[in-house]
Amino acid sequence: MLKSSSIALNWVKIIYLGFFFALLSGLFYPLIEGGSGEQVITAMGVLSLGLVGGLLVYKSSRIEKYGHLYLGSGFCILATALLLVFVIAGRI
C-alpha cells in the first residue's frame, strides 16, 4: 500500500512542477510582453520538453538496469529543447 501511495505522490509532484514552470515562464511572460497566443503555446511546449528531459536525466540516477538509456534520452531531449529556443529566438 505504501508503494502505490509513494508512486502517486511522485506523479503529483511532477504534474505540479510542470504546471508551475509552464504557467510562470510560458504563459505570463508572452502575455506581459504583448505576445500572441502562438508564442504562449510554443513557450509552454519548449518548457515542457525541457522538463521531460530533466526528469529523464534525474530518473537515470535512480534506475540501475537501463539508466544509461534514460540518461542519453534525457540529454537528447534537453538538446532538442535548447535548439528550439535558438530557433525561436532567430539565432539559427
> pLDDT tens digit string along 66-92?
889 999 999 999 999 999 989 888 888
Contact criterion met (CB below 8 Å) for 54 and 8: no
Answer whether residue 11 shows pLDDT above 90: no
Q: Which amino acid is at 85?
A: V
Cβ pair 74, 57 in contact under 8 A: yes
pLDDT of residue 6: 78
In whole angstroms, what is the distance from residue 78 CA to residue 21 CA? 15
The pLDDT, as a whole number, for residue 3 is 66
Say whether pLDDT at 56 is over 80: yes
Q: What pTM was computed for the model? A: 0.69
